[in-house]
A and B are shown apart, each in its own frame.
Chain A
Amino acid sequence: MKIEDRLSLLNYKTDKSYEHITINPSICETCPDHFCTFACPAKCYSLIEEKLNFKYEDCVECGTCDVACSHGSVAWNNTKGGHGVKYKYG
């Protein structure tokens, strides 16, 4: 089962006015490993034409990327106002 299909099973209340995680593109540009693209279990990080692309909308708020990025690019915050992922079972 593809990750995209697995993510499509999830319910999100997306916060359109607040991105709870931001990255610093200039750091990602020179990153030697892009470990985030391997570690993030929701495939929020991907390389598109060798450029790091990040989408917060699919985030399941596990916190992995904040530990995975050892170059200081990820600024991680909790979602606000009950936004973000909403599990059925957990």
Chain B
Amino acid sequence: MSEFDVIVVGAGPAGASAAIKLAGSGSSVLLVERGDPPGSKNVSGGVLWGDSLGSVAPDWEKSAPMERYVEAKGVSFLTRDSKISIDFRSKKLQERRSGYTVLRTKLDGWLSKKAKDAGAMVASGITVDKLAFKDERVIGIEQDGDIITSDIVILAEGANPRVAINSGIRDRLKDRDVAIGVKEIIKLPEKTINERFNLTSSKMGFASEYVLGFLEGGVKAGGFIYTNKESISLGLVISMKEMRENNNTRSFDLIEQFKEHPYIAPLIEGGRVDEYSAHMVQEGGLKSVPQLYGNGFMVVGDGAGFSFSNGMVLQGMNYAIASGIAAAESAIKAKIKSNFTKDGLSSYEERLKSSFVLQDLMNFKGIEEVTWSDMIHRGIPNMTEELFLSLFSENGQPKAHMINLLIRAMGHSDVPRKDMVINMYRMLRRM
């Protein structure tokens, strides 16, 4: 007889959601978190997209500590001197549902409390060393030589999955699996944020991704700016592979280059940096998804490689929550049948495959090759800059047709025309 039905390792959105769902259905659950309090070690951009939380906390939009609702979503290319943007704003985004900006210490603290209220035992400040095995089956967790037993362990460790690695159920991470995320929280008065980002109220927010085509040494990175109530989350996601190939700029210096850009600096002027943070970001797509379940265990959230990025949106927490819920449902089913083997937990993968979690990863297989391509980071920014300079300047010379301007602009892209066309086709297909 095990001490718990389920032990969940990690109290981020994935783990806490699984624990809430399981405890709510009457299972005995231990939620173990190495941070004390829960949330204090967790970092994300971050925007929580969609309505995944609805199935663990129906009243979440009223009760969860959300910052602002995304009413304005941007996508920009930055060159040294220019900013080329889509700044999408729509009253319809409120009906269609976008996302909320969040701060993780608050959100994860709230989720852990929900888990506790639902009946889970929450143990924070406890670091799990590895999974405990018996006869090739997971029987619980090991911590400082002690074993705590459960029928099932759900690993929700986040982007740096040490327990899974230490337990030999997954490989170590490679360059292609991750990017380096760095972030600052910049304090600004609520009213200033509303004015600078042209927001209709203090409840409404702005979220934008930036392709940074101008960084020193040609390192490829994406930037983000999200507005919280009284602060701005500003950060960078830097390709590990690109960093290694360049090996001449330091990850912690790049964020300054983003902040000093002529069209970013005015947005944060007068703001006070209140926190600096860094975390790895899952970036590998389907190729980076490890073994998802086995005898007595399931893997959820970032630790399972569940994130989505197509250069225009960056999502992770919604996949985390949905996968946590899917694992909880599979655990409940396994308990009914008293079958905790790999076979008994196989419905977990089926659930993921029939939901957006694995479908998005499968449908956008290989997208990471596009998002980190020369075309996105140099070709398109340089080309569109030249095109718009031609279109929007006036020097008394006869005007050229659009197609000629476009062909000429392509010559300024630093990427061979042939490669541009091939890449453009590939991008449209994969997007």
Q: Which residues of A contact B175 (CB under 8 A)?
A: 67
In the complex, A41→B160 CA distance in Å? 15
Residue B174 interfacial (CB < 8 Å) = yes
Q: Which residues of B contact A61 (CB under 8 A)?
A: 41, 160
In the complex, A7→B275 CA distance in Å? 8
Asked if residues B280 and A62 are in contact (CB atoms below 8 Å), the reply is yes
A1-23 CB mask vs B (1 if < 8 Å, else 0) is 10100110110000000000000
In the complex, A38→B108 CA distance in Å? 31
Question: A89 is contacted by which of B144, B185, B250, B253 (Cβ under 8 Å)?
Answer: B185
Q: Which residues of B contact A64 (CB under 8 A)?
A: 178, 180, 240, 251, 278, 280
A79-B34, A86-B40 given; A6·B280 CB < 8 A: no
Q: Which residues of A contact B240 (CB under 8 A)?
A: 39, 64, 67-68
Asked if residues A85 and B185 are in contact (CB atoms below 8 Å), the reply is no
Nearest chain-A residue to B277 (Cβ)?
A87
A1-B256, A90-B105 given; A62·B275 CB < 8 A: no
Asked if residues A67 and B173 are in contact (CB atoms below 8 Å), the reply is yes
Asked if residues B247 and A67 are in contact (CB atoms below 8 Å), the reply is no
Asked if residues A38 and B249 are in contact (CB atoms below 8 Å), the reply is yes
A6-B184, A35-B247 given; A89·B231 CB < 8 A: yes
Q: Which residues of A contact B256 (CB under 8 A)?
A: 1
Residue B252 interfacial (CB < 8 Å) = yes
Asked if residues A37 and B250 are in contact (CB atoms below 8 Å), the reply is yes
Nearest chain-A residue to B272 (Cβ)?
A9
- Total interface residues on B, using CB and 8 Å? 53
Task: Return B130 CB to nearest CB of chain A, in Å.
Answer: 11
A3-B252, A63-B160 given; A87·B41 CB < 8 A: yes
Residue A33 interfacial (CB < 8 Å) = yes
Q: Which residues of A contact B34 (CB under 8 A)?
A: 78-80, 82
Q: Which residues of B contact A41 (CB under 8 A)?
A: 180, 182, 251-252, 278
Residue B162 interfacial (CB < 8 Å) = yes
Docked complex: B119-144 residues within 8 A CB-CB of A: 124-127, 144
Q: Which residues of B contact A28 (CB under 8 A)?
A: none
- Total interface residues on A, using CB and 8 Å? 37
Nearest chain-B residue to A67 (Cβ)?
B173
B267-279 CB mask vs A (1 if < 8 Å, else 0) is 0000001111111
A35-B244, A78-B34 given; A88·B180 CB < 8 A: no
B296-321 CB mask vs A (1 if < 8 Å, else 0) is 00000000000000000000000000
A89-B275, A90-B42 given; A39·B173 CB < 8 A: no
In the complex, A12→B34 CA distance in Å? 14
Task: Return A32 CB to nearest CB of chain B, in Å.
Answer: 10
Residue A60 interfacial (CB < 8 Å) = yes
B171-183 CB mask vs A (1 if < 8 Å, else 0) is 0111101101110
- Contacts A9-B274, A63-B178, A88-B275 given; 17 further ones with Cβ under 8 A? A35-B247, A39-B243, A39-B244, A41-B278, A42-B278, A61-B160, A62-B280, A64-B180, A64-B251, A67-B172, A79-B127, A82-B125, A88-B185, A89-B104, A89-B231, A90-B42, A90-B105
Listed in ascending order, the chain A residues whose CB lies under 8 Å from chain B are 1, 3, 6-7, 9-10, 33, 35, 37-43, 60-64, 66-68, 76-82, 84-90
Which 9 pairs across A and B sit closest by C-beta, in order of nearness? A82-B125, A82-B36, A63-B160, A90-B104, A41-B278, A6-B276, A90-B105, A3-B252, A89-B103
Q: List 16 A-B contacts (CB under 8 A).
A: A3-B252, A3-B253, A9-B274, A37-B250, A40-B252, A60-B278, A62-B181, A63-B160, A64-B240, A64-B280, A67-B173, A76-B162, A80-B144, A81-B125, A89-B185, A90-B105
